[in-house]
Amino acid sequence: MSFEPLKGIRVLDLTSVVVGPVCTARLAQYGAEVIKLESPEGDLMRGLGGLSPTGQHSGAYLHLNRGKRNLCCDLKKPGSKALIKKLVASADVVIANMRPQALVRLGLDAKSIRAEHPNKIYCLITGYGTDGPYAGHPTYDSVVQAATGMTGLMLARDGAPAYVPMLICDHVVGEIAAGSILAAIMQRKTTGDGSSIEVPMFETMSAFVLQEHLAQQSFDPPVGPPGDLRLLSPHNKPVKTADGWIAFTVNTDQQVRSFLKTVGREEFIGDPRFATVGARAQNVMEWFAIRGAPLTDKTTDEWLDLLQRADIAVKPCHTLDTLPRDPHLQAVGLLQSDEHPTEGKTVAIRSTIRFNDEFPPLPPFAQPRGWDTCAVLEDIGYSADDIAALLEEGAAVASLAQEKPPTASQKAS
């Protein structure tokens, strides 16, 4: 039986790129009907996320937009105004990540919508909130990484600032936004009241960083410098082996003793600097220098065997090429083959969350622009003649899907 706690909840998705689609993808996974409103120009992530057979569905776009219905609408056309009003009226939740000023101009801000529909749940994901000196500033994930000190963590550890090479802020904030919407849905179920939610990326990720790295300055007066000194140690990196790299962590006193014995450094077992958690915290740099020393006298597989037998948390350092071939991921079927109407055979990522001993089935493919335009318009009360008029005007756009790309044999011929 499918686990669909949000079945019957309709979400109007006014988001694009990554942070908003992460949020709405999570709601779709829980059974919500998500209607993605897209302009004729298309979501930037269709091309920005990488190459694809047609140039219209990057891998990132495919993964972030499964299970959503796509309605293509030109907000510049007069007929779109009534269309949007009907969509809003039909939805339980409205989610946007446009700049607040643009939403006000379109009448799609929380104040305008909830003045007419007080029971709606409205979630705005912003870069910097709607007040404060940064309000309304444009932003992207990398800018937030820098502004929140994430790149500064790399500077402190490695001597140069660097981005985490994935859109970590977009993913974290998107998931937090989804969680806040779930809470608002529960409140509405209990009280009948709607909610206006605002999730700012800068503040959210600043809190995310500071929860760990305010550290010794969490006290008044401070008891030391900011930063988790273990994580900021230049030795806190994967360890070189004879033929690759491994990653391991030892935290408890028992783990430390087992590790030192396994790697042949018994002389440190009785050293009072490293004998307890507190002592190691006082001697972080020295301890991590020992822990992070190369282990080049044995191969990765040999060290994995030895450390696992010592009950040490250890795994190989995968690359983007080797991760999909990890035996555990293959055994549990994280990656699955799927068929897309314009891109052909694709690799999909199933849900990682098991409900009632089962993983939910793969949601339907990420749709081409306008794939469900006519069906959604019919659902919200438009007649066939009304739909034809909207299409004629260009206020609504039906499927812009390209033909399926030719096969290799067709190309050869």
For 182-212, the pLDDT digits (tens) are 999 999 999 999 999 999 999 999 999 999 9
Q: What is the pLDDT of residue 57?
A: 96
Three-state secondary structure call for residue 28:
helix
* Chain segment 237-278, per-residue pLDDT in tens: 999 999 999 999 999 999 999 999 999 999 999 999 999 999
* Least confident residue range of 242-251, 321-330, 367-376, 398-407: 398-407
Mean pLDDT, rounded, for 137-161: 96
Q: Confidence class of residue 407 from pLDDT cuts 50, 70 and 90?
A: very low
Which pLDDT value is given to residue 1? 53
Q: Is 392 helix (H, G, I), strand (E, B) or coil?
A: helix
pLDDT at 376 over 90: yes
Burial class (CB in 10 A: 0-12, 13-18, 19+), 328: exposed
The fourth-level CATH superfamily of domain 239-316 is formyl-coa transferase, domain 3 (3.30.1540.10)
For residue 168, the surrounding DSSP H or E stretch is helix 168-191
Average pLDDT over residues 141-160: 97
Q: 48-96: per-residue pLDDT in tens?
A: 999 999 999 999 999 999 999 999 999 999 999 999 999 999 999 999 9
Cβ proximity of 31 and 6 under 8 Å: yes
Q: Where are the domains of the chain?
A: 10-207+351-407, 239-316
pLDDT at 377: 97
10-207+351-407 is classed in which CATH architecture? 3-Layer(aba) Sandwich (3.40)
> Look-up: residue for tokens 């993913």?
171
Taking residues 210-222, what's their average pLDDT? 96
Write the DSSP string, 183-243.
Answer: HHHHHHHHH---EEEEEEHHHHHHHHHHHHHSGGGGSSS-SS-SS-TTTT-TT-S-EEBSS
